[in-house]
Amino acid sequence: MEKLGFGKKLIEVRKARGLTQEEVAEDCKITVRTIQRIESGVVMPRASTIKIISETLGFDFFYTSNTGYEDCTEDQNSNLKNHNVLWYLKDLFNLKTNSMKKISILSVSFLLIGLLFVQIIETKAQSINKKSNNCLFVKFNADNSVNRIEAVFTNNLTLDSLVRVKNELLTYGITVSYKILEFDTQDKLAKIYCDVNSNDGFGGSFSTDMLNIDKTKRIGFVRDYSKKAKNALCTGACGL
């Protein structure tokens, strides 16, 4: 495509930005009369003036217009391209022009940022508090070390889920030995007696008849690794 003269290209870019001659003149710190003379083709501006207009409008006139100044250095062109991004960001928040369109863009942008922020918070929360097997709860410290482990045994557990709990606890250095396991007609846990031992020397045991206790009562054990823990390993109710 044949290159447009600088004046015609300036008119095209200025109108595309939704700017008046007065606004361009003010931003470029030159007179309105100068902008008018440039756009009408009466004068050909100096390279320094073209550079100022290019940076102000965020458009490289050196390489898209028949200015006669195509010998602009590579560094100047690189700086201009970097300026383009800043100009677009600045122009986006200038609600004097294309207000409704910019408000729509900003609204959608803030909505997406908000959703991303919520997703990050949820992901972080999941990394700090991990729930698995419907009865095993593991809380982590900020450095991903284990802070607290809670194991809650209810009538909803089956043999398969008890095996999964046992295997997962082994990954945290806790051994659970089931001494007695009885199940009801629905293959759900009815009675349990087990020993709990951690690899750092703490141990205990608990037992319960699931069919003869208050359904709101929670039985199991708590392994608390925090320095402020009153009891490193608690078995039984433990305030679960």
Summarize pLDDT for 101-113 with one digit per residue, the tens. Answer: 667 777 777 888 8
Q: Are 163 and 217 within one domain? A: yes
Segment 122-140 mean pLDDT: 63
Does the model's pTM come out above 0.75? no
pLDDT of residue 74: 43
What total of structural domains would you count in the chain?
A: 3
Q: CA-CA distance, 181 to 84, in Å (whole number)?
A: 71
Write out the two tokens for 84.
């383009």
Q: Are 140 and 210 within one domain? A: yes
Per-residue CA distances from 76 to 28, 52, 61, 116, 240 (Å) = 18, 11, 12, 36, 68
Rg (CA), the chain: 36
Q: Are 48 and 122 within one domain? A: no
Q: Are 79 and 109 within one domain? A: no
pLDDT tens, residue by residue, 133-171: 468 889 898 888 899 999 988 888 889 888 998 999 999
Q: Are 109 and 143 within one domain? A: no
Asked whether residue 1 is assigned to any structural domain, the reply reads: no
Q: Are 177 and 110 within one domain? A: no
Q: Are 102 and 89 within one domain? A: no
Asked whether residue 91 is assigned to any structural domain, the reply reads: yes
Q: Are 229 and 147 within one domain? A: yes
pLDDT of residue 128: 43
Amino acid (1-letter code) at residue 84: N
Q: Are 211 and 143 within one domain? A: yes
pLDDT of residue 22: 92
Query: Quick check: 130 pLDDT over 60?
Result: no
Question: Which one is predicted more confidently, 93 or 172?
Answer: 172
Residue of 220, 217, 168 lying closest to 192 (CA atoms): 220
Write out the two tokens for 101.
């369109």
Q: What contacts 24+ positions apart, CB below 8 Å, involve 37-44? A: 38/6, 38/7, 38/10, 39/7, 39/8, 39/10, 39/11, 39/14, 40/7, 41/5, 41/7, 41/8, 44/6, 44/68
pLDDT tens, residue by residue, 187-232: 888 899 999 998 888 889 988 887 776 666 678 899 999 888 888 8
pLDDT of residue 97: 59
Asked whether residue 59 is assigned to any structural domain, the reply reads: yes
List the domain range (segments joined by +) for residue 174.
133-236
pLDDT tens, residue by residue, 90-101: 666 666 656 666
Q: Are 149 and 221 within one domain? A: yes
Q: Are 40 and 50 within one domain? A: yes
Residues with Cβ within 8 Å of residue 144, at least 6 apart in sequence = 127
Q: Are 149 and 70 within one domain? A: no
